[in-house]
């Protein structure tokens, strides 16, 4: 295979409300796509393809055929082969994976990937019904009713508690840690919100139970936003010879499970674990070699499960990993009341994750890769992971139905 490099990246401020700005989904695609292209220094004519990752634009905005929006970035892109990839909340990760495969297979030397979603177009109840399409709607919607997905992940949390001893306080630590990380991220949706472990662990008027045992702080937010990455071949990277460290794709793994949660083995999720195993095999590395990780924390329980799937914690011990302080940036650990861990610190979701950075569904998998590049280039500012060399992302769609793991490495 040809090596794949990340040449440039960009994202929007996830606190924005596009509708209130008089803007729309096209802006969430065009803005980060244009910014990434400009940052790359690449002539638009040198792009081989463009891919848009998006989950539910047809329901949220009545707009589909999203690849065509990429041609609005620059007139030179008219005629570019463009497509739209959908895999529920894993749409962005799938778009990155398909772009990487095009380059690794020698089909193209440069592919622009944009993930985007505009969700603030309807009530939370109606939006929840849209999101339910990520599951087996005909089967699970009648069973679980309104706000189906919090209830599905509440069941996962209950399963983990029953089988492995997970505690509500461990979930609260995950949530409070991600809020603390987001306060260091100038583009995070919840960057102005302060949440400590005690407040996240307590049920109150401001933190009600959404789907037992999950409370409001255990849940990601409704978000508008976009993110973009420009992937290139080694040949083109050498030709361009950009200054600074280079970010290379070291491993990639994708897996797909049955659609219904009841058809999966929880909380082990062995099919989702396959994506991690494939990425590690391609990379030729072990979990402990990671210096930072971005996982799909649509709910706090998902971060717990994801750290286990990635091998950062033994099966059933993801809550203990969070409690140990090993997943928190040293910059925030003391404020969370966590002791210095005895094991290697591997910060998880240093930008705030889905819970606090935000979750514009189709953009999330791409945003995770943007965070990886930002950390590996040493450009993360107050949330920078010291001497970051290897970074892992885990993006998933549905109730751990579609799983995408990427591993990125810095080459100085």
Q: Is 252 helix (H, G, I), strand (E, B) or coil?
A: strand
Contact 377, 105 (CB under 8 A): no
Is the Cβ–Cβ distance between 287 and 280 less than 8 Å? yes
Q: Is the peptide bond before 267 cis (omega within 30 degrees of 0)?
A: yes
Bridge partners, residue 402, by sequence: 256, 397
Task: Return d(Cα 118, Cα 137) in angstroms, integer.
Answer: 21
Q: Residue 130: phi, psi to the nearest 5? A: -65, -45
Q: What is the distance between the alpha carbons of residues 114 and 31, in angstroms, rounded to a whole number?
A: 10
Dihedral of alpha carbons 161, 402, 259, 210, sign: positive
* Contact present, 250 and 289 (Cβ < 8 Å): no
Closest to 285 (Cα-Cα) out of 392, 368, 393, 394? 392
Q: What is the DSSP letter of 230?
A: E
Active site residues: 89, 359
Is residue 409 within 8 A of residue 389, CB to CB? The reply is yes
**Helical (H) or strand (E) element with 209:** strand 209-211
Give the SS3 label for residue 348.
strand
Contact criterion met (CB below 8 Å) for 205 and 225: no
CA distance 147 to 131: 8
Rounded to whole angstroms, the Cα distance separating 112 from 160 reads 39
Nearest CA to 373 out of 347, 406, 330, 403 is that of 406
Give the span between the Cα atoms of 278 and 136, in whole angstroms. Answer: 26
116-135 burial string, b = 16+ CB within 10 Å, else e? bbbbbbbeeeebbbbbbbbb
**What gap in Å lies between CA 90 and CA 369, rounded to an integer?**
13
**What is the C-alpha separation between 392 and 379, in angstroms, rounded?**
17
């Amino acid at each position: 295979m040809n090596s794949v490099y990340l040449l440039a990246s960009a994202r929007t401020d996830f606190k924005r409300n596009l509708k209130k700005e008089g803007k729309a989904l096209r802006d969430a695609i065009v803005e980060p796509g244009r910014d990434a292209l400009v940052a790359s220094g690449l002539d638009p004519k040198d792009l081989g393809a463009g891919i848009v990752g998006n989950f539910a634009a047809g329901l949220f905005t009545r707009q589909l055929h999203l690849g065509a929006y990429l041609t609005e970035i620059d007139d030179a892109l008219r005629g570019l082969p463009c497509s739209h990839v959908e895999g529920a909340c894993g749409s962005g990760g799938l778009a990155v994976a398909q772009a990487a495969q095009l380059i690794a297979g020698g089909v193209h030397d440069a592919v622009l990937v944009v993930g985007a979603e505009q969700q603030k177009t309807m009530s939370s109840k109606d939006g929840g019904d849209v999101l339910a399409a990520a599951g087996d709607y005909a089967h699970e919607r009648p069973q679980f009713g309104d706000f189906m997905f919090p209830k599905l992940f509440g069941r996962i949390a209950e399963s983990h508690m029953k089988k492995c001893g997970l505690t509500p306080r461990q979930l609260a630590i995950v949530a409070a840690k991600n809020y603390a990380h987001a306060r260091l991220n100038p583009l995070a949706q919840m960057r102005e919100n302060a949440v400590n472990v005690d407040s996240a662990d307590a049920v109150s008027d401001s933190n009600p139970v959404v789907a037992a045992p999950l409370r409001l702080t255990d849940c990601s937010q409704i978000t508008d936003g976009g993110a973009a990455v420009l992937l290139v071949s080694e040949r083109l990277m050498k030709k361009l010879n950009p200054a600074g460290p280079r970010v290379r794709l070291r491993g990639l793994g994708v897996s797909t499970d049955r659609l219904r949660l009841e058809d999966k083995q929880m909380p082990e999720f062995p099919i989702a674990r396959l994506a991690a195993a494939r990425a590690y095999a391609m990379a030729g590395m072990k979990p402990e070699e990671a210096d930072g990780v971005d996982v799909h924390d649509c709910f706090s329980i998902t971060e717990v499960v994801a750290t286990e799937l990635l091998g950062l914690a033994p099966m059933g011990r993801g809550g203990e990993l969070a409690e140990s302080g090993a997943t928190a940036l040293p910059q925030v650990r003391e404020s969370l009341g966590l002791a210095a861990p005895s094991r290697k610190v591997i910060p998880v979701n240093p930008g705030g994750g889905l819970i606090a950075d935000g979750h514009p569904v189709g953009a999330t998998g791409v945003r995770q890769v943007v965070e990886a590049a930002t950390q590996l280039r040493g450009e993360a500012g107050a949330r920078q992971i010291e001497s970051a060399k290897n970074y892992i992302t885990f993006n998933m769609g549905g109730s751990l139905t579609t799983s995408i793991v990427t591993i990125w490495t810095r080459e100085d």
